[in-house]
């Protein structure tokens, strides 16, 4: 194939293979350069990018490849742009599922679940057949939690703990809203939690959040804002971006993907929680077998759900609301993958 279609360099032995689906789209375009610059895996880890998209997007994907070439990035040891599942999934170390069927006007949620169930059933089977069994998987395309559940269900040979869905964008949005409220730098705001689904039922929780050495709650001194406007602003932020830009979040989503994978692979800062939607083991009374966002810490390439946090009556209600939605999504989606 022409060089603008595929580039594979020499000296790949130490490189990791990273699959990005929907790679020609907005988020993919923002993401590939961040990975190739070393933001996800560090400044000494070479990468080979497997870029998957649908056949009609191949010309646009060729343009992305040309730009990657033109960046002259030393860590980029290869690019495999393709619409072929076998080529895309073979021997990958990491899979980032960005591509999904978007919700269209007049489409019911069940219709969206059905459309995506077919996509993620097929891609889960490809993951099972061609990827390394140690592959780490992040699902971004919505409904992300349930798409991750379908993917894991259809890739039975890969451990369930290797699957996750993106709630780091919500986590970052929540931290940012706190920082703006307190007029402080974002680096001072830590251990905010996103519970549940990446949807309007998600629960941004400041109960264990800190600002410097002070708790978020004592710093803000406004429980009405914390339990009202703050929660709604995070839940509805994606819609607000679409209303303003006429396009969904792209750069911030790509940044959150990098944050999620970097922490999963390299570890979280000591004493700090981040939010990941992962396979529930029953922690906090959440039904096992859902993909649910929990507070986690990461070390040695593995995440651990933070245990023993006290959950208030207000928080318990919020956790249950988002759990109920995920249960309904799971029931509907699994009907479509039988």
Which residues are paired to 79 by β-bridges? 7, 49
Report residue 99 as tokens: 């591509």
Q: Say if residue 39 is preceded by a cis peptide, omega within 30 of 0.
A: no
Alpha-carbon span 298 to 319, nearest angstrom: 22
* Residue linked to tokens 């000494």: 44
Alpha-carbon span 218 to 208, nearest angstrom: 11
Alpha-carbon span 34 to 47, nearest angstrom: 11
Catalytic annotation present for 198? yes
Contacts of 324 (CB under 8 A, 6+ apart): none
Alpha-carbon span 61 to 36, nearest angstrom: 16
Which residues are paired to 303 by β-bridges? 298
Contacts of 238 (CB under 8 A, 6+ apart): 248, 249
Q: What is the CA radius of gyration of the chain?
A: 20
The helix (run of H) or strand (run of E) holding residue 16 is: strand 16-21
Alpha-carbon span 114 to 207, nearest angstrom: 36
Catalytic entry in 77, 171, 198, 260: 198
Supply the residues annotated as catalytic: 198
């Amino acid at each position: 194939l022409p060089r603008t279609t595929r580039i594979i360099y020499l000296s790949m032995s130490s490189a990791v293979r990273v699959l990005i689906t929907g790679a020609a789209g907005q988020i993919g375009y923002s993401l590939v350069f961040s990975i190739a610059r070393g933001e996800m895996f560090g400044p000494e880890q070479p990468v080979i990018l497997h870029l998957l998209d649908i056949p009609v997007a191949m010309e646009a994907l060729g343009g992305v490849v040309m730009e990657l070439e033109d960046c002259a990035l030393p860590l980029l040891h290869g690019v495999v742009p393709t619409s072929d599942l076998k080529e895309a999934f073979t021997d990958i170390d990491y899979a980032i599922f960005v591509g999904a069927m978007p919700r269209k006007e007049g489409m019911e949620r069940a219709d969206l679940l059905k459309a995506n169930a077919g996509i993620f059933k097929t891609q889960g089977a490809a993951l099972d057949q061609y990827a390394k069994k140690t592959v780490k998987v992040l699902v971004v395309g919505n409904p992300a939690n349930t798409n991750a559940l379908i993917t894991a269900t259809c890739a039975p040979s890969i451990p369930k703990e290797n699957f996750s869905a993106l709630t780091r964008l919500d986590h970052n949005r929540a931290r940012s809203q706190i920082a703006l409220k307190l007029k402080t730098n974002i680096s001072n705001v830590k251990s905010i939690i996103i519970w549940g689904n990446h949807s309007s039922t998600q629960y941004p929780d400041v109960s264990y959040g800190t600002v410097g050495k002070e708790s978020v709650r004592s710093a803000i001194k406004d429980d009405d804002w914390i339990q009202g406007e703050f929660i709604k602003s995070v839940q509805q932020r994606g819609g607000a971006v679409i209303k303003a830009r006429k396009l969904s979040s792209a750069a911030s989503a790509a940044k959150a993907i990098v944050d999620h994978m970097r922490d999963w692979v390299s570890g979280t800062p000591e004493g700090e929680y981040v939010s990941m939607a992962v396979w529930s083991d029953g922690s906090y009374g959440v039904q096992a077998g859902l993909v649910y966002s929990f507070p986690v810490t990461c070390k040695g390439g593995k995440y651990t759900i933070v245990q023993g946090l006290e959950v208030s009556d207000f928080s318990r209600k919020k956790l249950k609301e988002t759990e109920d939605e995920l249960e309904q999504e799971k029931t509907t989606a699994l009907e479509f993958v039988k």
